[in-house]
Amino acid sequence: MRQPLIAGNWKMNGSKAGAEALLLGVVAGSKDITKTEIAVCVPFPYLYLGEQLLAGSSVRLGAQNLCTEAGGAYTGEVSGSMLSDFGCRYVICGHSERREYYGEDDAAIAQKLMRAAESGLTPILCVGETLQQREGGETDAVIAAQIDGVVAQTGIEAFAKIEIAYEPVWAIGTGMTATPEQAQAVHAFIRARIAERSGSIADGLRILYGGSMKPGNAVELLAQADIDGGLIGGASLNAEDFLAICQAGDQTAA
Ligand code: PEP
């Protein structure tokens, strides 16, 4: 069975004091979560704080991006090995905000997945369609292209150590959520796409849903057969809401 994973994506939010309070709140509440794996992907400047405050807890640390290169003269970038050095387990790759605002394409995202793996990190690969693409009936084609574009470079074996997050772009930060049926359909499509290359990797693959997941809709979404967790933006900035989603993970876990 696939253990649920609830990962917070703090994006570029917070302050040192706010990050400390949020980390402490999540750690305190995590003691009541028994079946769900919890992670928080914090901004780079708070990694050290995260490493210190999460030590001894079951909450995993993650980052939101890494460089396509392993090290060297790349001003302003952060390498996978630096993230590992700060105790990161996860790193988000190919979030739609990075695809849209920073021009990340499938080739760059595949490079990042490979750098992450070399550094012992587990990437959370984000895929998802825009509203226009959904309304144009292109959802499956867009998701297939995003997955195939990466697999072509990394090989399918890399997906044994990758989490995928299906994040419909139109649902991110908008308050609009995919219905459980809409999300399940895409998750099943993703699993089938991977299964065409490896049934065992597809079976073990965790596919998270992201897009305005909140305490009020988490149970319904997480109860779907192919939804194995959540990537949580806005609701991860409030310990109580984030932990309520983790509780939903426990409630729906097999
Ligand atoms: C995200 O950006 O990864 C996300 C899921 O955001 P939100 O939960 O705020 O829609």
> Considering only CA atoms, which residue is closest to atom 4 of ligand 1?
233
Q: Which residue of the set 104, 129, 163, 167 is catalytic?
A: 167
Kindly give the number of the ligand 1 atom that is closest to the alpha carbon of 212: 10
DSSP assignment of 105-137, as one string? -HHHHHHHHHHHHHTT-EEEEEE---HHHHHTT
Is the sign of the CA dihedral 69, 73, 75, 76 positive or negative? positive
* Token pair for 148: 């195939």
Segment 72-100 shows an average pLDDT of 98
pLDDT in tens, 143-159: 999 999 999 999 999 99
Asked if 80 and 86 touch (Cβ cutoff 8 Å), the reply is no
Q: pLDDT band for position 28 (50/70/90)?
A: very high
Q: What is the mean pLDDT of the chain?
A: 97
Could you tell me the distance, in angstroms and rounded to a whole number, from the CA of residue 4 to the centre of ligand 1?
17
State the closest ligand 1 atom to the C-alpha of 235, by its place in the atom list counted from 1: 8
Rounded Cα distance between 160 and 184, Å, is 21
Please classify residue 90 by burial: count the beta carbons closer than 10 Å to its beta carbon, then call 0-12 exposed, 13-18 middle and 19+ buried: buried
Q: Tell me what pLDDT residue 223 has.
A: 98
Residue 254 predicted with pLDDT over 90: no
With b for 16 or more beta-carbon neighbours within 10 A and e for fewer, the 204-230 pattern comes to ebbbbbbbbbbbebbbbbbebebbbbb
CA distance readout (Å), 238 to 26, 29, 152: 9, 12, 38
Which DSSP symbol is given to 65?
-
Give residue 73 CA to ligand 1 midpoint distance, Å: 32
Q: For residue range 164-187, list pLDDT tens digits in order.
A: 999 999 999 898 889 999 999 999
pLDDT at position 148 is: 97
- Residues with Cβ within 8 Å of residue 73, at least 6 apart in sequence: none
- Mean per-residue pLDDT, 8-27: 98
How large is the average pLDDT for residues 116-127? 98
The CA 120 to ligand 1 mean position distance, Å, reads 25
Is position 167 annotated as part of the catalytic site? yes
Q: What is the pTM of this model?
A: 0.97
Q: Give residue-wise pLDDT tens across range 92-109.
A: 999 999 999 999 999 999
Say if residue 1's pLDDT is above 90. Answer: no
Of 37, 95, 163, 187, catalytic: 95
78 sits in which H/E element: none
State which ligand 1 atom lies nearest to the alpha carbon of 171: 10
Quick check: is 37 catalytic?
Answer: no
Q: Is 167 in the pocket of ligand 1 (CB under 6 A)?
A: yes
The pLDDT of residue 224 is above 90? yes
